[in-house]
Chains A and B, each alone.
Chain A
Amino acid sequence: MKLTVWTYEGPPHVGAMRVATGMKGLHYVLHAPQGDTYADLLFTMIERRDHRPPVTYTTFQARDLGADTADLFKDACRDAWERFRPEAIIVGASCTAELIQDDPGGMAAALDLPIPVIPLDLPSYQRKENFGADETFLQIVRHLAKPMARTERISCNIIGPTGLGFRHRDDVEELTGLLFELGVAVNVVAPLGASPSDVARLGAAHFNVLLYPETGEGACRWMQRELGLPFTKTVPIGVSATRDFIREVNGLTEMDASPDEGRLRLPWYSRSVDSTYLTGKRVFIFGDGTHAAAAARIASEEMGFAVVGLGCYNREFARPIRALAKSMGLEALVTDDYLEVEAAIQEAQPELILGTQMERHIGKRLGIPCAVISAPVHVQDFPARRSPQVGFEGANVIFDTWVHPLVMGLEEHLLHMFRDDFEFRDEAGPSHHGGHAPRAMDAAPEPEPALAAAVNDNVTWLADAEKELRKIPFFVRGKARRNTEKFAVERGVSAISVETLYEAKAHYAR
């Protein structure tokens, strides 16, 4: 048993729903109790879908247990076929139905429906949403995809995008354009937008582009083995990753295409002098493995940030994230415990968080700006405008998204110089965020004593030093406090004076 407050991932059958809802012509019959239909609102409200997810829930109740839950399932399955006439049906159990062991796969097969019926076995008490999506798509591909003649023109499939994915809609569009410039046609995008008959012709492509390993790697590995389709290993998020991806695709196609970089603005924006203030900004990165790894590379090599924390919530990606963190001199944080992530952020006192919607909330509380880089998604992650993460336009979007929450260059200096100005106090936060100013630390100083306690209970701040500390702008104050305390402890100083503060500043000067 593990106490959970907020979760990064839903149960595995929600992953299966993401596949089913992303696809067309597929129906999911889910053996589940009343209430599990809540998952529909993820799609209709968060993603603003204008159709109900193609899911039939058996909705069994206590009185059905031990009596006719199996009949309920069979009726629901037959009704779903008759009403929706899908090209294929996937069947499975939610966590409660798993316990009553009705064998949805066997029952559905016994109905002898004239369409493929694909059973899912998703262990609800061991695995989570991403596994559920990956496994579901793998099973669909295994049942439907067959070896076949390749398309005449070189083509690929884009594998991994699902319903309720972080920017999947826009990434697919951007990537399709990039592949066109590389001389590669897109055979099938799946699961998002694909029908079972589209899945059946996956084998006509020359290779697969694995866009999101979280939800597509299982299927790509199977297709490599069974259909002889190699798949790409680079996820093209960021300038360098996109260029690497282009090289990888050129390798597969044996061409030497070089797409026009005319629209790519990140490199110049990042090199231009007004971006100098970004240098060494301390960022904490947390998300799914793929997006966190991409963000770490962009942050350090393309934005000039200092990565002070890196982690992911999906254990399946623990190994690469640990290796990447190690290469940056960090210890990776691999956890799905929200409180642990919050503690790590508080400890690291970054100037910017690159995280999920969960970290956005942590940032709000701690007064640290945050840009969202990964699922779990929120209605805000489905902007009306086009807003991809992959490719060159994705890099542009990322530059804007990450810089936006920060206090900008000259403003940062002015805040520092005139911090007592009654209209221009640091509590006001970035001037372009009227309604989203970080909380006034003077009014609610509780996180800071907690931090002090975390460093050393024996260090106290003299009144003058505390006052001087308050003159430091809020976005670096936490770091100054932490460094000074660390410095004091190392030197056996128990009372921090103004002197100690400035000695520490000189010591840590970068």
Chain B
Amino acid sequence: MNRPFTLSDAPAKGCREAPVLKERGQREVFCGLTGIIWLHRKMQDAFFLVVGSRTCAHLLQSAAGVMIFAEPRFGTAILEEKDLAGLADAHDELDREVERLLARRPDIRRLFLVGSCPSEVIKLDLSRAAERLTRKYAPHVAVLNYSGSGIETTFTQGEDACLESMVPVLPESPERQLLLVGALPDVVEDQALSLLSALGIETVRVLPSRRADAPLAVGEGTVFALTQPFLGETAAALERRGARRIDAPFPFGEEGTTLWLRAVAAEFGVSEERFEAVTAAPRARARLAVAAAAETLEGRSIFFFPDSQLEIPLARFLTRECGMRAIEIGAPYIHKGLVGPDLDLIEEGPLLSEGQDVDKQLDRARAARADLTVCGLGLANPLEAEGLATKWAIELVFTPVHFYEQAGDLAALFARPLRRREMLKALAPATGEAAG
């Protein structure tokens, strides 16, 4: 059953060249600041200081959903009236807040100054601030900056901007190495590293590193593989440093993981026998686990609102491994250079949409009445109230879903709303559409 994947399994005509509906209007998506919620957990000696407004602070608090930490490793320097009046003063104020923060938190080794909509609009130059503060606090603290503003980034693009900001300051090294790029839950990252090590790939490093002192460098000998589809700018920055990207579908599901590993293995000259030996057992486990959830998903239709940028790889997984039928695949933006291999594997048919005009898209979703609608938190309950089953997209970036051992969990995340509806059918409204 572990027949290796060959291109003959690909559909006769994929979606790479399919026309894309480009929409521009109200977007129901988070801004890039949201990435801080998982990035600050991933990088345990980093602090994310948003220079923004009360809205930014409120977004982080609301998106985090719960407040677990006395003092989390992120905060917002809230701009006040006087900061808007004079930028020189704003820089002084920022220096003062950073000094207080670093005095209170000596454990911080990396400080990210994160730009926001207001700081961008008043043209507060955070790169200048980062340079100035780096000189002041080196070598103990490295100060970097990026923008998570909504006028420039959507949701997961914040992680892209953050990782991109780290690339120019990485030391140069000609060493032959594999760089994994993307913030994964530690447990998933460890699984990936162990698979790669079993394949015999010796030097594997991860961006972002968990701690500042991890040996991380880049150069001509570096090849890198993205683990997330939203890291286009980071990929470009690595290429500017001489690194080369391995093109592959993203490691979701058994097939995605196998194709991703196979592309890496090919780059490092891993033998077919060794590849089989290493992947056979986890592939079988993944297929078994996916099959359990696929029973619920088989033959059901799915509609994706744009959200996390994972929509295209997930549509590939759900249509190919779980037997679902995609009606619309919406993504905030489509970077064909990165998601091309995933698009190749999705059989033509679904509408691809980029950007959003939420009211028009809601009209399409209501007309389609998919068995499952994937959307953000602002839309989920209203659509449920209209009788549509939904899956909130944010869970897909907060939950371990990559690689073999999570393939079943990933499928189950989509199956659960359908199973729940089935269990609760006695509660369905007695009349009207919602009963459906």
Contacts and interface: CB of A to CB of B under 8 A. Distances in A.
B75 interface: yes
B26 A1 contact: no
A51 B384 CA distance: 10
A34 B377 CA distance: 15
**Quick one: which of A38, A59, A76 has the most chain B CB within 10 A?**
A38
Contact of B55 (A62, A124, A342): A124
Interface stretch (A3-11, A113-121, A387-395, A478-486): A3-11
A62 B31 contact: no
Contacts of A56: 26
A9 B55 CA distance: 10
Contacts of B382: 44, 49-52
Contact of B97 (A1, A34, A128, A361): A1
A506 B235 CA distance: 70
A365 interface: yes
Given A3-B77, A34-B31, A49-B382, A99 B62 contact: no
A235 B70 CA distance: 33
A36 B53 CA distance: 12
Contact of A96 (B33, B51, B121, B379): B121
A225 interface: no
A358 interface: yes
B376 A41 contact: yes
Contacts of A126: 80-81
Interface string B68-100: 101110011111110110000010011011001
A125 B57 CA distance: 13
Provide the main secondary structure of the chain B interface: helix
Interface string B230-253: 000000000000000000000000
A62 B81 CA distance: 22
A11 B151 contact: no
A56 B49 CA distance: 30
A62 B152 contact: yes
Contacts of B94: 1
Given A1-B83, A99-B84, A40 B28 contact: yes
Interface string A48-79: 11111000111111100100000000001001
A3 B30 contact: no
B29 A34 contact: yes
A3 B151 contact: no
A149 B297 CA distance: 62
Contacts of A34: 27, 29, 31, 150-151, 154
B185 interface: no
B142 interface: no
Nearest to B31: A35
B270 to A, nearest CB: 43
A295 B81 CA distance: 34
Interface string A7-51: 101110110000000000000000001111111111011001111
Nearest to A128: B54
Interface string B169-196: 0000000000000000000000000000
Most buried by A among B55, B78, B385: B55
A495 interface: no
Contacts of A60: 151
Contacts of B100: 3
B120 interface: yes
Given A62-B120, A95-B55, A7 B61 contact: yes
Contact of B75 (A5, A9, A51, A357): A5
A339 interface: yes
B80 A1 contact: yes
B337 interface: no
Given A14-B58, A83-B359, A100-B121, A61 B53 contact: no
A36 B55 contact: yes
A342 B70 contact: yes
B268 to A, nearest CB: 40
Nearest to B49: A3
B63 interface: yes
B55 A11 contact: yes
Contact of A124 (B26, B30, B53, B76): B53
B14 interface: no
B381 to A, nearest CB: 4
A2 interface: yes
Contacts of A41: 62-63, 376-378
Interface in B1-56: 25-34, 49, 51, 53-55
Contacts of B150: 33-36, 61, 96
A491 B135 CA distance: 50
A266 B168 CA distance: 66
B118 interface: yes
B58 A361 contact: no
Interface in A194-233: none
B61 to A, nearest CB: 6
A187 interface: no
A44 B62 CA distance: 12
A339 B55 CA distance: 19
B117 interface: yes
Query: Taking each of B101, B382, B384, B385, which has the highest tally of chain A beta carbons within 10 Å of its own beta carbon?
Result: B382
Given A35-B31, A36-B55, A41-B378, A96 B79 contact: no
Contacts of A38: 30-31, 34, 59, 62-63, 378
B117 A33 contact: yes
B53 A49 contact: no
A396 interface: no
A35 B30 contact: yes
Contacts of B377: 40-41, 44-45
A157 interface: no
B278 interface: no
B330 to A, nearest CB: 15
A94 interface: yes
A124 B31 CA distance: 19
B393 to A, nearest CB: 12
Contacts of A62: 120, 149, 151-152
Residue among A99, A342, A362 having the largest count of chain B Cβ atoms under 10 Å: A99
Contacts of A10: 54-55, 58
Contact of B76 (A3, A14, A58, A83): A3
A362 B71 CA distance: 11
Nearest to B359: A83
A125 B359 contact: no
Contact of B152 (A39, A51, A61): A61
A3 B120 CA distance: 18
Contacts of B428: none
Given A1-B79, A37-B27, A99-B121, A7 B57 contact: yes
A58 B59 CA distance: 18
B216 interface: no
Contacts of B75: 3-5
Contact of A37 (B33, B97, B378): B378
A319 B363 CA distance: 51
Given A1-B51, A3-B78, 8 more contacts: A1-B93, A1-B97, A4-B57, A33-B117, A34-B150, A36-B55, A37-B30, A99-B84
Interface of B: 25-34, 49, 51, 53-55, 57-59, 61-63, 67-68, 70-72, 75-81, 83-84, 90, 93-94, 96-97, 100-101, 117-118, 120-122, 149-152, 154, 359, 376-382, 384-385
Interface of A: 1-7, 9-11, 13-14, 33-42, 44-45, 48-52, 56-62, 65, 76, 79, 83, 94-96, 99-100, 124-126, 128, 339, 342, 357-358, 361-362, 365
Which 8 residue pairs across A and B have the least CB separation, nearest first? Answer: A35-B31, A35-B150, A40-B378, A50-B385, A96-B117, A1-B93, A41-B377, A95-B53
26 contacts: A1-B78, A4-B57, A6-B57, A7-B61, A10-B58, A33-B149, A34-B151, A35-B149, A36-B150, A37-B26, A37-B30, A38-B378, A44-B379, A44-B380, A45-B380, A49-B382, A50-B384, A51-B385, A56-B26, A57-B26, A83-B359, A96-B55, A124-B53, A125-B53, A126-B80, A128-B54
